[in-house]
Amino acid sequence: MGMRSAFDEIMGQAGSTTPRAELAALGNWIATTPDAELRRRQQSAEATFRQLGITFAVYGDSDASERIIPFDIVPRIFLASEWARLSEGLVQRVEAINAFLHDIYGERRILSDGVLPPDLIFGNPQFRPEIAGIRPPHDVWAHICGIDLVRTGPDDFFVLEDNARTPSGVSYMLENREAMLRLCPELFRDFRVAAVDSYPDRLLETMKSVAPQGVAAPVCVVLTPGHYNSAYYEHSFLADSMGVELVEAADLVVDDDIVWMRTIAGRVKVDVIYRRIDDDYLDPLVFRPDSMLGVPGLIAAYAAGNVAILNAPGNGIADDKAIYSYMPEIVKFYSGGEPKLPNVETWRCREPQALKYVLDNLADVVVKLVDGSGGYGMLVGPTATKAEIEAFRAALIAEPHRYIAQPTLALSTVPTMTDAGLAPRHVDFRPFVLTGSKGVQVVPGGLTRVALKEGSLVVNSSQGGGTKDSFVLMDDGAQPLEAQTQTQSQEQTA
Amino acid sequence: MRLSVDHRTTYRFSSPQARLTQLLRLIPDGTHDQSVASWNLHVDCDARLRHGRDGFGNRTTMLYVEGPIESIEIAVSGEVLTHSSNGVVHGAHEPLPPAVFLRATPLTTPDADIAAFASAIPDGDPITRLHALNLAVHRRFALDRGRAVAGRSAITAFSQGAASPRDMAQVFITAARVLDVPARYVSGYSPVCAVGAGRPAPHGWAEAYVAGLGWVAFDPCTGLSADEAYARVAVALDSAGAAPVAGSRLGEGEEMLDVDLHVDRSGQ
Residue A392 domain flag: yes
Split into its structural domains, chain A has a count of 1
Residue A349 domain flag: yes
CB B177 within 8 A of CB B183: yes
Residue A374 domain flag: yes
pLDDT at A276 over 90: yes
SS (H, E, C) A340-378: CCCECCCEECCCHHHHHHHHHCCCCEEEEECCCCCCCCE
Tell the burial category of A482 from Cβ atoms under 10 Å away from its Cβ (0-12, 13-18, 19+): exposed
In Å, how far is A269's CA from the nearest CA of chain B? 16
B239/B233 Cα distance (integer angstroms): 12
CA A180 to chain centre: 22
Residue A167 domain flag: no
Residue A394 domain flag: yes
Residues of the domain holding A378:
345-408
Task: Give ipTM to 2 decimals.
Answer: 0.94
In this predicted structure, which of A145-159, A466-480, B18-32, B82-96 has the lowest mean pLDDT? A466-480
Q: Which of A129, A255, A256 lies at the smallest CB-CB distance from B55? A: A129
| Chain B interface, best mutation among A108, A130, A288, by max B CB count within 10 A | A130
Strands A67-68 and A55-56: antiparallel
B45/B119 Cα distance (integer angstroms): 51
H or E element in which residue B112 lies: helix B112-119
Write phi, then psi, for B48 (nearest 5 degrees).
Answer: -100, 130
CA separation, residue B94 to residues A141, B98, B209, B234 (Å):
24, 9, 12, 11
Residue A375 belongs to domain with CATH number: 3.30.1490.270
Tell the burial category of B254 from Cβ atoms under 10 Å away from its Cβ (0-12, 13-18, 19+): exposed
Q: Is residue B247 within 8 angstroms of chain A, CB to CB?
A: yes
Q: How is residue A8 annotated by DSSP?
A: B
pLDDT at B11 over 80: yes
Name the band, by pLDDT with cuts 50, 70 and 90, for residue A219. Answer: very high
Q: Is residue A402 within 8 angstroms of chain B, CB to CB?
A: no
Cβ contact (<8 Å) for B99 and A122?
yes
pLDDT tens, residue by residue, A356-381 = 999 999 999 999 888 765 556 789 89
In Å, how far is B197's CA from the nearest CA of chain A? 31
Q: Position B149: which residue type?
A: V
* Non-local CB neighbours of A284 within 8 Å, separated by 6+ positions: A290, A291, A292, A294, A296, B248
Residue A402 domain flag: yes
Q: Position A18: which residue type?
A: T
Return residue ranges of chain B for CATH 2.60.40.2250: 2-80+245-266
pLDDT tens, residue by residue, A182-209 = 999 999 999 999 999 999 999 999 999 9
Name the band, by pLDDT with cuts 50, 70 and 90, for residue B266. Answer: confident
pLDDT at A492 over 90: no
In Å, how far is A131's CA from the nearest CA of chain B? 5
Return residue ranges of chain B for CATH 3.10.620.30: 85-236
Q: Is residue A303 within 8 angstroms of chain B, CB to CB?
A: yes
CA dihedral A491, B56, B66, B14 (to 10 degrees): -150
Give B-chain residues touching A133 at CB under 8 angstroms. 53, 55, 57, 95
The topology (CATH level 3) of B2-80+245-266 is: Immunoglobulin-like (2.60.40)
CB B76 within 8 A of CB B40: yes
Write the class of the CATH domain B85-236. alpha beta
pLDDT tens, residue by residue, A10-35 = 999 877 888 999 999 999 999 999 99
Q: What are the start-end ranges of the H helices in A105-252?
A: 109-112, 118-122, 170-183, 185-190, 199-209, 232-242
